[in-house]
Structure 1
Amino acid sequence: MTEISAQAPDRYGYDFIPPAYLPAGKDEYWLRNEQIGVWKKTWRKLKVQEMEILVKNDNFCSNWDNFLVSDPFDPSLIRNSNFYGLIRLGALREMLLRHHDYSIPAGIRNSTVISCDIGDNTAIQDCPFISHYIIGDRVILSRIDEMQTTNHAKFGNGIIKDGEDEDVRVWIDVMNEAGGRSILAFTEMICADAYLWACYRDDTELTEKLRVITQKNYDSRRGFYGIVGSGSVIKSCGVIKDVAVGEAAYIKGANKLKNLSILSSEDEPSQIGEGVEMINGIVGYACHAFYGSKAVRFVMGRRSNLKYGARLIHSVLGDNSTVSCCEILNNLIFPTHEQHHNNSFLIAAMIQGLSNLAAGATIGSNHNSRANDGEIRAGRGFWPGLSVSLKHSSRFVSFVIIAKGDYPRELNITLPFSLVNNNVQKDRLEVMPAYFWMYNLYALERNSWKAMDRDKRIIKVQHIETDYLAPDTAEEIIAALGQMETWLDVADRPVEPEDNADGEIPAPGLEHKRQAVLLKPRKARAAYREMLRFYAGKTLIAYLESNPDLSFASLAEELGDAKNCNTDRITDWVNLGGQITPAFRVDKLRAQIREGKLDSWEAIHKAYDEFWAAYPLDKARHAWGVLTYLRGKGPANTGDFIKELDHTLETRRWVADQVYRSRAKDFLDPFRSITYRNKEEMDQVAGKAEDNFFIKLTREKLGQFEETVKLLKERLR
């Protein structure tokens, strides 16, 4: 049977809201009028002369009494177009609208417009079907095949409208293909929200409250119109249905856009390009989607990008991320994620930011299970190398780099900053703890700098910790040290610190059903302790610098070290979408949501802001506790503390030197020079290590750090 039905032609453009959903005394325009209440425009009916000009220019309207205009109005700028339902036009005068190299006269030509409000001096050309939209000022709409809004449009929000069944609701199955961590998209969603919803599934009262909050916060009434914000340009597109477009957006050549909110502003404009298809989702401010990218059931955070055929499905992509030429399915990805290669896959995972996936990486294969309910969890700084293949279920702490290889079993890598290698010849897993600190500080330092430098968000709703040494990674190091001590005791080997005496030791539990070993465990142990001391020192320096009135005595008192013990150190920290916060704060937040004290996403976001405001003190107290852990007690007096400052400065100098040495290896490798005729040609093409921008920046920041420590020492004495 055909699904085409017939309707009386005189009702074309009317009856947008079914009578059952109209409140008493309201007409079908009541919500439309609410939406344009801020316009403050005055409409009038056409003058006889204006109507004559419109008809002469081959325009048709089913009822000219419902064709309202604002002054000034030039009817000659409307030609060969059809109008149905209530039409309201803003001011229209002769002018040329220009966007880049594309120019178009203001007015309406060769189009059919159905029950729309149109702002001042907008251009609509060759659009055969525009229905139930509110279009802002100086908008360009050109060659759009179909653009319409239904009375039950949700604009990407995971709600149901009045009278709809629950099975209509659109869920996003993050982290798990089986759907056990499903969340609902909404226009204000950030990664912290997705994490709170997806990762505390045992707290069933919390997850139900979040569903109720989302439903309540987004209007369930039927009859809202789609919006195209002022200054936006939409041209050469196929189908645009139930899409809300913010201001200054640029959409060109998209195939299909359906059930979306495209957040955009003059300061943070979003763009969607050729061949793109996006359905059921939220496009964040200043986002870009180009060149055939596809997104279905998704949220894109601020300043994120899809390029070159990337697929983003059932996933949340955090702020400042870029993915291209790859497939991302069932994921929760925290801010600053990079994935650029056509043959890379990320499936059923939570990646906690500052991450990078190389070509050929297949992260998430269900081959070790009969079901599709496996997951991968990776902490900050996750870096699988070329052609890495990982199985569900696996877990990685922060800043783990994985060497090229097909990893046949599940992994549980509990040692941060480590290098993981699948040794095929010896049929074993090899892990080198603290690898980054010992051998590649250039990459480690640059990753943190890059995350800060590329954060161009105007409004930073999602807070992000970009330092690789923070409370979360410090606690991972402390846990790793305890684990390594156990393995070293079992190994029953000498503990000489010399590198040449530092052999491998067994490390059970890092891989399922196969032997794993640690490489250079004693050197790594020393490196871990130095990392902790450096973290503590530079954190306390930063806190003192931001609190210029603190003396050593007041610092010690504020950080709670009256008894010189470490029992009060907070050991449980949460990466809340990129924001690091003590777990007890998140637990309190969950309780407040369950109890109804926080009943909106705005209130929950305000709580995140309060966590962020408390973070410097939380972090400083933790740093003091880490010093106490390393020394057995906190600094006893000013002189003792100044020694710590001196040690931190020496470590900072060492870090700067290691950054240079790490990068210089590339220039000293003889195979790097074999493609050049001579050293001079190589210098011109590849540059010199000492001229590297980041190395120069590192040395510049070292100088600033030296001055800071000097001033602090003078102040504390």
Structure 2
Amino acid sequence: DGEIIAGRGFLPGLCVSLKHNSQFAAFTIIAKGDFPAELNIPVPFSLVSNDVTNDMLVVMPGYWFMYNMYALARNSWKYTDRDKRTEKKQLIEHDFLAPDTINEIIQALQLFKKFTGEAWILNNPGTAGDAVSVGEKLLETNDAALNGMDIFASGFENTGRKTKLIKVPACYSVFKKLISYYAARLLVNFIESQNITSVKQLQSLLPASTDVFEWKNIGGQLITAEAIGEMEKNIKSGKIDTWEEVHAVYAKQGDNYEYDKLQHALAAVKLVNGFSSDDSVELKSLLDKSVETKKWMVDNIYSSREKDYTNPFRMMVYENREEMDKVVGRLEDNQFIKQEKQAFEEYRLKVKKILGMMNN
């Protein structure tokens, strides 16, 4: 007996065989194959494959952002659009950037530092410093020496064979960028919802600084571990003794979710990127750079979908491009891509307006 524990967005491919117990971070995709042992994949957005030829597990962190942004973003929109509950009493999270994935990204960044440092020290005996600090320096500077260097992880598979991490430097940069973007996006929403008109007012209303805190996925709703612990304590003591009271806790946490998310996001960007909301220059920079990140995401949405229109193996069943366009539709007419481009333009204008307000 055993369990498979998977985070949101878990996607096992066709003909995948997994061993119990196994655990996967959010948005892990498993390539076709028979995996010989239990797996514990703590890095979100990873492509996991079984390299039979070289007898190793191969993990590509950040796969979705680098190679299939279209599917990742469209699924997030699709699940929200298809939520046809007549009464949406429980707040279900569909966004791929949310407190659970942000916490996993933070954990992944630490693992990247550790495993990169260990690989470097193995290849360069006598290197001063511990593995984490060595790895951090290499990744922060995107040292060219990392090109071609094999990086191996430990604890991902219950076997004695190797686990190889690929594209680590690229993913390290992407993950750090996403944490800043996530915080900026929530900040924009907060400024709009509170009708904030000055930097001073914004700073006075922002949540108090805190450490990054844990979240639990409760049936698709993300709730702080502290709130769940309090609810469990009240159930045991008899203070909560009906389902209506349990559901009332869910509803209250749903009402608090946006503010709690913002507090968590600011703590995350402070921890990872050294951000301080007390510094107006840093606030402006965070917002300004988020526009670049949003543009990068939209461009990747387009390019990852464009591959389906330029791949000769996709095109070979059609007489010509005109016939293909009639069957699958023109790329330029893709409604989701149009929607995302429009969303980017709206976001860009919002940030421009906010930055104008902050400069007054």
TM-score (norm 2): 0.90
Runs of 4+ in 1 over 6 A off after TM superposition: none
Aligned to 1:485: 113
Q: 1:461 to 1:635 in 2, by over 3 A?
A: closer
Q: Is the 8 A contact 1:499 1:523 kept in 2?
A: no
Q: Equivalents in 2 of 1:590, 1:385: separation in Å?
A: 36
From 673, 677, 687, the equivalent of 2:329 is: 687
After superposition, the C-alpha distances for 1:394-436 in whole angstroms (9 at most, x for unaligned) are: 0001010111111111000000011101011011100011111
After superposition, the C-alpha distances for 1:366-419 in whole angstroms (9 at most, x for unaligned) are: xxxxxxx21110000000111111110000010101111111110000000111
From 529, 547, 565, the equivalent of 2:176 is: 529
Q: Equivalents in 2 of 1:520, 1:682: separation in Å?
A: 34
Q: Is the 8 A contact 1:581 1:611 kept in 2?
A: yes
Residue 713 (str. 1) matches residue 341 (str. 2): no
Residue 442 (str. 1) matches residue 70 (str. 2): yes
Higher RCO, Cα 8 Å, sep 6+: 2
Q: Equivalents in 2 of 1:604, 1:375: separation in Å?
A: 26
Q: 1:622 to 1:554 in 2, by over 3 A?
A: farther
Residue 512 (str. 1) matches residue 158 (str. 2): yes
1:391 alignment partner, SS class: coil
Deviation at 1:598, TM superposition (A): 1.2
Aligned to 2:235: 593
Aligned to 1:422: 50
Q: How does 1:609-624 map to 2 (within 5 A)?
A: 609-624=251-266
Deviation at 1:708, TM superposition (A): 1.7
Q: How does 1:131-150 map to 2 (within 5 A)?
A: none
Tell me, which stretches of 5 or more residues in structure 1 are unaligned? 1-372
Q: Which has the larger radius of gyration?
A: 1
Aligned to 2:186: 539
1:476 alignment partner, SS class: helix
Q: How does 1:114-263 map to 2 (within 5 A)?
A: none
Aligned to 2:284: 642
What amino acid is the match of 1:394? S
Q: How many residues align?
A: 340
Tell me, which stretches of 5 or more residues in structure 2 are unaligned? 124-137
Q: Is the 8 A contact 1:411 1:512 kept in 2?
A: yes
Q: Is the 8 A contact 2:92 2:220 kept in 1?
A: yes
1:422 alignment partner, SS class: strand
Aligned to 1:583: 225
Deviation at 1:446, TM superposition (A): 0.7
Aligned to 1:90: none
Q: Is the 8 A contact 1:388 1:404 kept in 2?
A: yes
Which one has the bigger helix percentage?
2
After superposition, the C-alpha distances for 1:295-340 in whole angstroms (9 at most, x for unaligned) are: xxxxxxxxxxxxxxxxxxxxxxxxxxxxxxxxxxxxxxxxxxxxxx
TM-score (norm 1): 0.46
1:465 alignment partner, SS class: coil
Residue 603 (str. 1) matches residue 250 (str. 2): no
What amino acid is the match of 1:474? I
Deviation at 1:705, TM superposition (A): 1.1
Q: Is the 8 A contact 1:418 1:433 kept in 2?
A: yes
Q: How does 1:350-365 map to 2 (within 5 A)?
A: none
Deviation at 1:657, TM superposition (A): 0.7
After superposition, the C-alpha distances for 1:588-636 in whole angstroms (9 at most, x for unaligned) are: 0111111111111011101111111111111111111122113324134
Q: 1:553 to 1:499 in 2, by over 3 A?
A: farther
What amino acid is the match of 2:154? P
What amino acid is the match of 1:403? A
What's the % identity of the aligned pairs? 41
Aligned to 1:385: 13
Q: Equivalents in 1 of 2:280, 2:81: separation in Å?
A: 35
Aligned to 2:94: 466
Q: How does 1:69-148 map to 2 (within 5 A)?
A: none
What amino acid is the match of 2:182? Y
Which one has the bigger strand percentage?
1
Aligned to 2:147: 501
From 199, 202, 225, the equivalent of 1:555 is: 202
What amino acid is the match of 1:443? A
Q: Equivalents in 2 of 1:550, 1:602: separation in Å?
A: 40
Q: Equivalents in 1 of 2:145, 2:95: separation in Å?
A: 28
Q: 1:656 to 1:582 in 2, by over 3 A?
A: same
Aligned to 2:129: none
